[in-house]
A = this chain, B = another copy of it.
Amino acid sequence: MTEELDVLGIGNAIVDVITQADETVLHAQNIVKGGMMLIDEARAAHLYSVMGPATMVSGGSAANTLVGIASFGGKAGYIGKVKNDALGKHFAHDIKASQVEYFTKAAQDGPATACCYIFVTPDGERTMNTYLGASQNLCVDDIDETIVASAKVTYLEGYLWDPAEAKKAFRKAADIAHAKGRQVALTLSDSFCVDRYRDEFLELMKSDTLDLVFANESELYALYQTSDFATAIEALRQDVKLGIITKGEQGCVMVSSKGITAAPASKINSLVDTTGAGDLFAAGFLHGYTQGYELQACANFGALAAAHIIQKIGARPEVNLKELAEQNKAA
């Protein structure tokens, strides 16, 4: 590990178990559509027993983002904890095979590798039920100073705020990065997650622990407890150097001290599964950002990657995003 990384991601290392389901299944299981709920082992076993046939693919929000960055040709690294079990080995295989440097040792005992049970409804919306398992044992010892120091941007998940030890690892990474003049980015992850940690997220922003914040509209509204976009955007502009708000098919809005600008979404043919839309938007954006592109170009990379990912099942790209970007430029 001597080379510089463009982006280092730190997050919950999760394998996704994805099924197609109609809304009656969500109702019957008391699942709130569209969000991410944390579940315990017993609930995980129950949901698995009632869910339909499922595809297993590596997931994890930040991990998806770093795989996207590597697919764009960026130098990507990842820190996140699995167990040394079949799913943990598969997670490690996939992220390494995606050309992401993976730095975290697997746990030899304790809970199983994290699983996210995802129900995709006919409208393409995904609803996630996450058993954190081994991922919550990520701790400060997993944060290597040399690695964090080598990354232009360290990218963190809001979801990391759920496991207590991971939160400490998160702060350690941010401290190292800033001590080395690097930047720190956070995705707010999920509106329920924002509800759980609103004050802490605002404190991270106001204290300049974060340089970039990614959020979608509902996360932004949850953060500022408003449903007025202009109010929320202005508050965000005061609180962070660069805020990027995704708005689905309406594209995104970027706010900084220099002003507020918008960029469009990319066209799609058919919506299949929204899993990973935000993760891959962040991938494209951060790829552009670490390559020195203007904000508009960063947003365009993000839109392109997000459009690809929602036209297939699962949150890992099936094409080379660098080639896709070149084709798009040529078109």
- Mark A residues whose CB is within 8 Å of B: 19-20, 48-49, 51-58, 67, 85-87, 90, 93-95, 97-98, 314, 316, 318
**B57 and A55 within 8 A (CB):** yes
**B67 and A58 within 8 A (CB):** no
Q: Out of B52, B54, B94, which one reaches A53, CB within 8 Å?
A: B94
Please, could you name 15 A-B residue pairs with CB atoms under 8 Å apart, sorted by A? A20-B318, A48-B93, A51-B97, A53-B95, A53-B97, A53-B98, A53-B316, A54-B93, A54-B94, A55-B55, A55-B56, A56-B57, A85-B86, A86-B86, A86-B87
**Shortest distance in angstroms between A316's beta carbon and chain B's nearest beta carbon?**
6
**A98 to B52 alpha-carbon distance, docked (Å):** 7
**B51 and A90 within 8 A (CB):** no
Counting from the closest, the 9 A-B pairs by CB-CB distance are A86-B86, A56-B56, A53-B94, A53-B97, A52-B97, A53-B98, A55-B57, A55-B55, A86-B87
**A48 to B93 alpha-carbon distance, docked (Å):** 8
Q: Majority SS of interface residues in chain A?
A: mixed
**Shortest distance in angstroms between A287's beta carbon and chain B's nearest beta carbon?**
18
| Closest Cβ neighbor of A20 among chain B residues | B318
A95: B residues at CB distance < 8 A: 53
**Shortest distance in angstroms between A17's beta carbon and chain B's nearest beta carbon?**
8
A20: B residues at CB distance < 8 A: 318
A87: B residues at CB distance < 8 A: 86
**Shortest distance in angstroms between A269's beta carbon and chain B's nearest beta carbon?**
11
**A57 to B95 alpha-carbon distance, docked (Å):** 18
A94: B residues at CB distance < 8 A: 53-54
**A58 to B87 alpha-carbon distance, docked (Å):** 14
**A87 to B90 alpha-carbon distance, docked (Å):** 11
**Shortest distance in angstroms between A121's beta carbon and chain B's nearest beta carbon?**
14
**Shortest distance in angstroms between A36's beta carbon and chain B's nearest beta carbon?**
22
**Shortest distance in angstroms between A158's beta carbon and chain B's nearest beta carbon?**
25
**A323 to B20 alpha-carbon distance, docked (Å):** 16
A56: B residues at CB distance < 8 A: 55-57, 90
| Closest Cβ neighbor of A67 among chain B residues | B53
**Shortest distance in angstroms between A19's beta carbon and chain B's nearest beta carbon?**
8
With A86-B86, A318-B20 as contacts: A53 and B58 at CB distance below 8 Å: yes
A58: B residues at CB distance < 8 A: 53
Given contacts A48-B93, A53-B67, A54-B90, 5 further A-B contacts (CB under 8 A): A53-B94, A53-B95, A54-B93, A55-B57, A56-B56
